[in-house]
Amino acid sequence: MGPPPLFFYCFSLFVLLTSAEISNKIGINYGQLGNNLPSPYDSIQLIRSMKAGRVKIYGTNPEILKLLSGTKLQVSIMVPNNEIINIASQQTIADQWVQNNVLAYYPQTMIRIILVGNEVLSYSSPSDNEIWQHLVPAMRRIKTSLRAQNIRNIKVGTPLAMDIFQTTFPPSSGIFRSDISDSVMIPLLQFLNKTSSFFFIDVYPYFPWSANPTKTGLDYALFRATSDYIDPVSGLIYTNMLDQMLDSVVFAMGRLGFSNIRIAISETGWPSAGDVDEVGANAYNAATYNRNLIKRMTAKPALGTPARPGSIIPTFIFSLYDENQKTGRGTERHWGLLHPNGRPIYDVDMTGKRPLSDYKPLPAAHNNEPYKGNVWCVVASNEVDLMELSRALTYACGVGNETCTALTPGRECYEPVSVFRHASFAFSSYWSQFQSKGGSCYFNGLAQQTTINPSRGLCKFPSVAL
Ligand SMILES: *[C@@H]1O[C@H](CO)[C@@H](O)[C@H](O)[C@H]1NC(C)=O
Ligand SMILES: *[C@@H]1O[C@H](CO)[C@@H](O)[C@H](O)[C@H]1NC(C)=O
């Protein structure tokens, strides 16, 4: 037998190139909002040992980008929200950004995605919509800079959250919010279509499930449902919530005339812990979600979704570490695959090759039903900074009605005179007054919820009844 004909090599090369562009390797989001995380060097070693195919960072940290040089990791970098308006305003500013944050590392660092902003179209602050109109112009500027450098293997996109939708259920009714549909979504889809980029979506079945936590809903969210859902309009058959959410994106794009833009998951995951009243946040569910997710997304041939069978969906899991400086509910600090010391919270094989039956059994889930009972808000650990704690104590006592009256000398909670004990009382008293109005048991990480009643003797700690 002679050598294969020339077209064989051409064809192989073609397959190699396209598969490199949209490989089904699983990515990881590497966030750094923690004051106890391993160094970038150690983090990249961990990411490599976990066999992730890609890494996504929230910015352009020079140390990380240098360290990624020469690794096989494909890299996604991000333009911060607060640079979008500037970049949109002038091509030279975009050129400079690309010079400093791409050309300084590329091609040794395999930058393959530039995400412009993070969840720019969500309503997180009232001034946000000033940026909206600059989003697509900024993306065009960045793309123009890349073209001028003859760089063709970097996609430009923007990760959006599910709150860009007016309707997502049933999936066939997917429709973008009316306040962004014409002004932002159409130009965005035109850009993504023209540049063969991806629609990046942050998609978390955890949120719709936890808002309405039924047992069958949990199985559906964790990819282990025993019954299907049939979309009454499209007739498509769904076996899990993720597919349903992804297809609402497909239908919403289709409604605006774009039926070919590929989808990538810029974030997904499941929290391994959270506040007492955050249902279903546990290691069992988190491991189940992420393992099943990886199995699906790495399947060969690709599974796709009911509306897009066979399509490859590049996926980034959120996230590498539990990050203790993220604000908000307890779950916010527990999306990691790893503890801050680098040890796994639960085992997960990012290649998807390990059979699910090979994993060691996990501790049973204890909070898959909403907690009912009293909850107190106390100092999170013995290792908190004393100065910060006394500042938080003063703050809590300064708001609400008689929040700390019981702590004054001679009153029932004065003894023992300890900042920890007093702060725990003040946090509970504060939270019991403000929980229903949106107040949180957080205090910059100093506080956490507990179901163990800290009251002693005559000193009764106020609580929230769930
Ligand atoms: C999307 O891009 C394709 C290929 O360039 C083009 O033929 C099509 O008209 C575009 N779709 C829209 C709605 O602009
Ligand atoms: C404090 O008490 C007053 C009068 O009873 C009430 O109007 C006010 O809303 C209370 N404030 C808080 C924060 O509960």
Same structural domain, 117 and 206: yes
Same structural domain, 146 and 57: yes
Ligand closest in space to the Cα of 403: 2
The ligand 1 atom nearest the CA atom of 190:
14
From atom 1 of ligand 2, which residue's Cα is the shortest distance away? 401
From atom 4 of ligand 1, which residue's Cα is the shortest distance away? 194
3-state secondary structure at position 237: strand
Ligand closest in space to the Cα of 262: 1
The CA-atom distances, in angstroms, between 359 and each of 78, 223, 284 are: 35, 17, 12
Same structural domain, 72 and 189: yes
Same structural domain, 166 and 41: yes
For residue 450, is it within any domain? yes
Whichever domain contains 458, its CATH number is 1.20.58.1040
**pLDDT score, position 445:** 86
Same structural domain, 42 and 165: yes
Q: Which of 313, 329, 358 is the last residue of a domain?
A: 358
The ligand 2 atom nearest the CA atom of 437:
13
Residues 283 and 404: their CA atoms lie apart, in Å, by 37
**Ligand 1 binding pocket includes 257 (Cβ within 6 Å):** yes
Residues 345 and 343: their CA atoms lie apart, in Å, by 7
- DSSP for residue 396: H
pTM for this model (two decimals): 0.88
Taking residue 257's Cβ as centre, other Cβ atoms within 10 Å add up to: 10
**pLDDT score, position 12:** 45
Express each pLDDT in 149-172 by its tens digit: 999 999 999 999 999 999 999 999
- DSSP for residue 319: -
Same structural domain, 342 and 378: no
From atom 11 of ligand 1, which residue's Cα is the shortest distance away? 258
For residue 368, is it within any domain? no
Q: Which domain holds residue 431?
A: 374-465
Same structural domain, 342 and 411: no
**Ligand 2 binding pocket includes 433 (Cβ within 6 Å):** yes
> In a mutational test of the pocket of ligand 2, which residue from 401, 403, 433 has the highest number of ligand atoms less than 8 Å from its CB?
401
Q: How many domains does the chain have?
A: 2
Same structural domain, 427 and 325: no
For residue 369, is it within any domain? no
Strand partners, 159: 200
Asked, as a colleague might, if the bond just before 170 is cis with ω within 30 of 0, I would say yes
Ligand 2 centroid, distance to 377 Cα (angstroms): 21
Q: Which residues does the annotation mark as catalytic?
A: 119, 267
The ligand 2 atom nearest the CA atom of 434:
13
**Ligand 2 binding pocket includes 226 (Cβ within 6 Å):** no
Express each pLDDT in 400-420 by its tens digit: 999 999 999 999 999 999 999
The count of C-alpha atoms lying within 13 angstroms of the C-alpha of 209, restricted to the half-sphere facing its C-beta, is 30
3-state secondary structure 280-293: CCCHHHHHHHHHHH
Q: Which of 304, 327, 358 is the last residue of a domain?
A: 358
From atom 2 of ligand 2, which residue's Cα is the shortest distance away? 401
Low-confidence ranges of the chain (pLDDT < 50): 1-20
**Ligand 2 binding pocket includes 400 (Cβ within 6 Å):** yes
**Ligand 2 binding pocket includes 439 (Cβ within 6 Å):** no
**Ligand 1 binding pocket includes 195 (Cβ within 6 Å):** no
**pLDDT score, position 279:** 96
The CA-atom distances, in angstroms, between 204 and each of 158, 218, 245, 293, 383 are: 17, 13, 9, 12, 32
